[in-house]
Structure 1
Amino acid sequence: MSKYHLMREAKAAQKTDPEAEKITLQYWELNYNRGKWWGGGLMGFWAFLVLVGSIDHLGSRFFPNAAMKAKRGLGQFAPVRLFRKYVTMPALFNGKHTARNFLGGAIPTRFESLVIFCYFVLVVISEAVNYEYYSKCTWYPEKRMQIARYIGDRSAIVTCFIVIPTFLFAGRNNFLMWLTGWKMSTFYAFHKWLARMAIFSAFVHTITMFEVMHWTHSIPEIKTEGWWRWGAVAMVAGAVILFQTFSYIRTKLYDIFLYFHIILAVFWLIGMWIHIKDLTVGQYAYATAAVWVFDRFLRLLKMSTFGIRAAHLELVSEEIIVMTIPSVAFIKRPTPGSFGYVYFLDGWAFFQSHPFSVIIEENTVKFLIKGKQGITKKLYKKLYELPDHKCTVNVCLEAFYGEYRPAYAYEQVFIVAGGNGVVGLYEYVKDIEAKRLQGKANTKYVKFYWVVRHWHGIDWLYPELKKLQEYDYVQPIVYVTRYEDCKIGDRFAYTDETASTKGSSMLTKQIEVSEDAKDEAIEEVLHDDTKVMEKETPENLLNAESFTHRVKSDLPHVEFRSSRPDMTQVIHDDIQEAGPQDNIAVLSCAVNQMCDDVRRSVANEVGAARSGRIDLIELLQVW
């Protein structure tokens, strides 16, 4: 079947002017080709952005000193500083990017929003201009028929060009992340908005072509054919996707959303393929399918390389699950900020994958998991009910993801971590130390801020926090937001104050915790309570002054501060204390509001005239 298959609905006269027939075909082919040209331009839009992003990322990765020198030079120009301050760095508005909006979704950054808007404008222009009316058209005597048909053809082709990057940006193994260093959440933001544009563009195609067929009375003739029916299937799937992806549904019923979303995407792609395969544009469906298959192939390859292994789980301080997987084989060596998808095979949800940041020690992987909802909540309950709060489960690991940024190339590094978001950031400290030993690091000073709710949060990362004592250029500062509560963890749950003077471990006697207190603790964790408990049981409280003294004695290199930090003021003060010639990297991974505060503060600072460079590296992923 030829590419003119859809021309059958045109009721051409039996006797036509050969010259008019020739010109009619030329007009149609010109419009058809213009659709491809505009589609190529839309792909070129992403190619240009990827090129710029790749130069920046790969240059910084492989030539950090040269790249830093070039960036410092550009930063001396006021327009560049203002562009970073008002366009590339801040949130879209109200200082909110990772914090959820009233619908439960995350708002793209100002730069991401600008990219999406520019692409949307190009899509609209591509389907709205360069249409030519031919008064002697032998296919459609009326102008409305001609223009509707041209719009229908153009929008169909443009939709195909939108769908390809839409599927590409949704993949975990999107090779553009490797080139640009952009976060997965950035590509997910692009994916969501491109998908909406593709669906609306397909609606334009459907409505205009339906009108043409209605005016030419050709619907009864073609509505029984496969390409028509499967086109309808694709449009129904697209319409359901449009409403199914509302942020509220995605956040509240994520697992249901995910698998239903995949099924709908399959029907969209199959319907699209059958609809266009005989119109000389079937290659677009093949390209889209190839992108998807490549991503799934790499997922299976990573999982098969790792295999099925036994993971050791331990409940720490009745709040955090520490999962350790020994003897791990890697396809991609983990870098600071990496995360992996874990499949828990002991149960019916073996096919579900859960992303966690990792701590790497030789060939051992460690995860800190907060018991929230779903499988993590079940694991928490299981461990809590065991006498020693330990167990072993079979897992499979799909890893590693996350793009590396050379923090060691900066003279000053400020790290802002909240809760178990500290995991990936701690790996950056280890990386800086490794580069210093190799003589490659420029870092002179690291401020390591960690915000926890209770004192027992220190248990989560105690060995790593202890190790920071070996790094004299690292200043760990821990904010305990409920400083006076003194909820203790296993590592510091002792009452014998003279134990250390007797030459034995300070952790000599653990305090008894009543069952009621334990029940309250587990309820607080499982429901992610953020309210201060009004009543504390005497069994799980120690004298505040005595307890804090013991913790500080065991971690003398750590500065402990009470209350919740004002990160805007903290970042401002730290940047002012640094030399104006120093390059500064600010790394963050904390609760949403804190990350937004850090972003807003850094955006304000990059506009100031200084010889050094300031960059924000945000590890928090939201979608």
Structure 2
Amino acid sequence: MDAGILFWKAFCENGESELIDLTTIEASMTDSVVATLPVINPSTYTKTISSPVVVIKSEYRRYHHALKASNEAMPINLLYGWGLIGYWGGVMFLGTLWKVGQWFYYLRFNKSKAKDIEKPNQSSQGELALPKSLAMLRHWILLYIVIPATIGTYHQRLFWWSNIPNRLDSLIVFGFWALSIILGFAGYDTFSGNPTVTSLPEQNWEMLSDRTAILSYACLCWLWMFSGRNNIFLWATGFSFQSFNIFHRHIARICTIYAIVHSIGYTVEWIVYYPKYFKSLKENWFIFGIVATIALSIMLGFSSVFLRQRSYEVFLVIHIVLALVVIVALFIHTSYFGTQYNGYLWPTVAIWCFDRFLRLVRLVYCNFSVFSGKAKTTNASVMYSSASDVIRIDLQPTASSLKGRPGQFYYLYQPYTLRGWENHPFTLGAFTNGFEDSSPNTPEIVKKKVTTTTTAQLSDSSDDAVKLKSYRSSSLSNTLTFWIRPYDGWTKRLRNECIKGGGVCYPKILIEGPYGHTQMLHTYDSITMIMGGTGIACAVPYVQDFLGKSKIAISYTSKIKLVWTVRQPEFVEEVCANDLSAAICDQRIEFEFYCSKKNVPTNISTSVHSSDEVTKQIIIQSGRAPVASLIAESGTEAKLSNSRAAVLVCGPAAMADEARAAVHQALKNGCRTLDYFEEAYGW
């Protein structure tokens, strides 16, 4: 009885009527009285009903079905919304488990090293090898899920102007799309003969519109989380920033599609079935719902690869402004229902504020200090080499506890400019951690010898080489080094500033960080590093880290092979004469240098003399590095020696995709101990 009264009350309100007071009638309805009431069929009864009646069971079931469908629709929608939220929660949980497993392995490595501290660089297989069953499972996961590309060999390269995730990310994204389609368009309790909403299309539009509204809101939390720099799952799962960018984009597409379907649904319903649409256009909550949908759609359109690559700052400004518009518009839109939907919106605000707050904390921590009684800020020296066409930035942050580590990247600001809000991410290229400097041997002399008659390009760079050499100060302060290829925007303006200063300038530059992951490469017996251009910034810190760990016997690595392809051979000379000077003279590290630029000397040799009077000659070969054959050789060697090998890649898209395909082939050939690490060359 109570449920029936509630139903009729809602039914009357929907028809803009008011249900009569049924209190006295309800009190007199005993079983004996009900048995005496006339039974009618509402669909055929044409007389006016002025006294209580009983509806036949078939009609009662029809009304009960309608009542049940109406009452259960919203709880189901909320449950499905939690399904979308839970999907990404499950992905993050599994990623965290994988990361925890890696840390247990790392602790096992540390324990084994503590036992054999007097035996550095021994083979890791005896103590770190996994049980056979786990090794086979791990090999299968790497071979079929983690390493291969999704479409051919496309991953870093664009395929039809689209970023193609690797297979693991693709499976995660595919699962999300499949779940979104199922939850969005299945399980509606609509039926012909509904006494309250007689039209079946109207029922479908109404339920579809309500469902997609909830699901769109359910996407917001993860959408904002995955877009932030201080996403806690970056360090919890070990997923790359690039992977989270991919997740963010696909969540944004689903969220926008849901919003569009919701808007279309209510437009159809309130124009075709109810004369409410144009009347509602006068109300703020309705208008701002339209604004939110349009803003989401514009954001999606302006997030294309074409715009991001050609005018990233324009994309970023549009994205931030429209994101704020969306949140404000959604608060106003759902204010019509009170605070019922604020539980979806306030977490996004909290995530955004948390991310921005931590950015500010990092900025202050890295760049400002007053503990010594005098205010200090980050010191920066910027040098542009015309021969190598590379900007070198050396920063000394005020935070003494800020240590350079492999795999780190930082955001750089130049605040005292017209575009001081701009900030750009750059991989840490080299570091000196005060007394922990792992590259203490500063080169004394750099002698150049060209084996062909073309010497103009090399001789032109002599002044720059002297500048680079003289800049290496004897200060024991922490120094972070970045190499930047100038293109448009901020990097171009910074290059011009250096040129005006005679090649060197000292602007005020602030850093924000560190971000990124340090891979446990020191647990591998051999490492092959495939680098391209300024991607060398990924390799040098690992080389420096290897030299430092080798001194205290906490590295298993006995061999490193660094292969670097550049367009300007002068860049190789500058890096080798400075940041790789100690490594060049280390017999455990093998170097191969290639110059891909046409019309340059075919073989350039350079002799580097370090302070301990060790001399090493480097040769820069013409052409591109044979990436596939180098990785195949590493895989074969690891398979035959039953040792653990790692391949680290950072370079142009084509190089990275070739390396990934080569590693996949090595795994197919039976090498179970080869791991692949890829650092994004840009995003």
The two structures share one fold, judged by TM-score above 0.5: yes
Write the mapping of 1:519-534 to structure 2, written as runs, cut at 5 A: none
Contact 1:343 1:396 in 2 (8 A): yes
**SS of equivalent residue, structure 1 residue 373:** coil
Query: Which runs of 5 or more residues in structure 2 are unaligned?
Result: 1-9, 21-41, 43-54, 110-124, 369-376, 434-477
**Distance apart, 1:441 and its partner CA:** 2.0
Deviates more, 1:457-466 or 1:193-202: 457-466
Q: 1:364 to 1:32 in 2, by over 3 A?
A: same
Is residue 323 of structure 2 the alignment partner of residue 265 of structure 1?
Answer: yes
Task: Identify the residue that residue 560 of structure 2 maps to in structure 1.
Answer: 446
Task: Write the distance in 1 (CA, Å) between the matches of 2:316 and 2:504.
Answer: 31
Contact 1:311 1:326 in 2 (8 A): yes
Task: Identify the residue that residue 666 of structure 2 maps to in structure 1.
Answer: 605
Aligned residues: CA RMSD? 2.9
Write the mapping of 1:204-603 to structure 2, written as runs, cut at 5 A: 204-214=261-271, 215-279=273-337, 280-305=340-365, 306-307=367-368, 308-318=377-387, 319-329=389-399, 333-358=403-428, 359-362=430-433, 363-387=478-502, 389-461=503-575, 462-469=577-584, 471-482=586-597, 485-486=600-601, 548=605, 550=607, 556=616, 558=618, 560-578=620-638, 579-603=640-664
**Distance apart, 1:63 and its partner CA:** 3.2
Contact 1:311 1:395 in 2 (8 A): yes
Task: Write the distance in 2 (CA, Å) between the matches of 1:224 and 1:196.
Answer: 29
**SS of equivalent residue, structure 2 residue 306:** helix
Q: 1:13 to 1:603 in 2, by over 3 A?
A: farther
Task: Identify the residue that residue 491 of structure 1 maps to in structure 2.
Answer: none
Task: Write the distance in 1 (CA, Å) between the matches of 2:399 and 2:567.
Answer: 35
Task: Write the distance in 2 (CA, Å) between the matches of 1:415 and 1:74.
Answer: 29
**Distance apart, 1:575 and its partner CA:** 1.8
Is residue 289 of structure 2 the alignment partner of residue 197 of structure 1?
Answer: no
**Distance apart, 1:38 and its partner CA:** 1.6
**SS of equivalent residue, structure 2 residue 286:** helix
Q: 1:249 to 1:317 in 2, by over 3 A?
A: closer
Contact 1:475 1:558 in 2 (8 A): no
**Distance apart, 1:589 and its partner CA:** 0.7
Task: Identify the residue that residue 89 of structure 2 maps to in structure 1.
Answer: 47
Task: Identify the residue that residue 3 of structure 1 maps to in structure 2.
Answer: none
Instruction: List per-residue Cα deviations over 1:272-308 (Å, max 9, x = no partner).
Output: 2222245312110111111111111111111122235
**SS of equivalent residue, structure 1 residue 394:** coil
**Distance apart, 1:138 and its partner CA:** 6.1
TM-score (norm 2): 0.75
Q: 1:42 to 1:66 in 2, by over 3 A?
A: farther
**Distance apart, 1:21 and its partner CA:** 7.5
Contact 2:606 2:618 in 1 (8 A): no
Deviates more, 1:465-474 or 1:190-199: 465-474
Instruction: List per-residue Cα deviations over 1:552-597 (Å, max 9, x = no partner).
Output: 9996164543321120111101221234411111111111111111
Q: What is the aligned residue count? A: 556
**Distance apart, 1:150 and its partner CA:** 1.3
Task: Identify the residue that residue 214 of structure 2 maps to in structure 1.
Answer: 157
Task: Identify the residue that residue 679 of structure 2 maps to in structure 1.
Answer: 619
Q: 1:565 to 1:469 in 2, by over 3 A?
A: closer
Is residue 126 of structure 2 the alignment partner of residue 11 of structure 1?
Answer: no
Higher relative contact order (CA 8 A, sep 6+): 1
**Distance apart, 1:26 and its partner CA:** 4.0
Deviates more, 1:342-351 or 1:133-142: 133-142
Write the mapping of 1:45-124 to structure 2, written as runs, cut at 5 A: 45-61=87-103, 63-64=105-106, 66=108, 69=128, 73-74=132-133, 76-77=135-136, 81-103=139-161, 105-124=162-181
TM-score (norm 1): 0.82
Contact 1:344 1:396 in 2 (8 A): yes
Amino acid at match of 2:155: H
Contact 1:466 1:555 in 2 (8 A): no
Contact 1:417 1:451 in 2 (8 A): yes
Task: Write the distance in 1 (CA, Å) between the matches of 2:631 and 2:18.
Answer: 78
Identity %: 24
Deviates more, 1:290-299 or 1:457-466: 457-466
Contact 2:221 2:344 in 1 (8 A): yes
Contact 1:328 1:364 in 2 (8 A): no
Task: Write the distance in 2 (CA, Å) between the matches of 1:332 and 1:137.
Answer: 68
Q: 1:101 to 1:173 in 2, by over 3 A?
A: same
Task: Write the distance in 1 (CA, Å) between the matches of 2:664 and 2:534.
Answer: 25
Contact 1:314 1:323 in 2 (8 A): yes
Task: Write the distance in 2 (CA, Å) between the matches of 1:256 and 1:391.
Answer: 28
Task: Identify the residue that residue 122 of structure 2 maps to in structure 1.
Answer: none
Is residue 108 of structure 2 the alignment partner of residue 38 of structure 1?
Answer: no
Task: Write the distance in 1 (CA, Å) between the matches of 2:67 and 2:599.
Answer: 81
Amino acid at match of 1:368: W
**SS of equivalent residue, structure 1 residue 314:** strand
Amino acid at match of 2:98: D
Query: Which runs of 5 or more residues in structure 1 are unaligned?
Result: 1-5, 487-543
Amino acid at match of 1:341: Y
Q: 1:247 to 1:481 in 2, by over 3 A?
A: closer
Q: 1:405 to 1:28 in 2, by over 3 A?
A: farther
Instruction: List per-residue Cα deviations over 1:3-57 (Å, max 9, x = no partner).
Output: xxx9999437656999887765542332211122222222222222222222222
**SS of equivalent residue, structure 2 residue 528:** strand
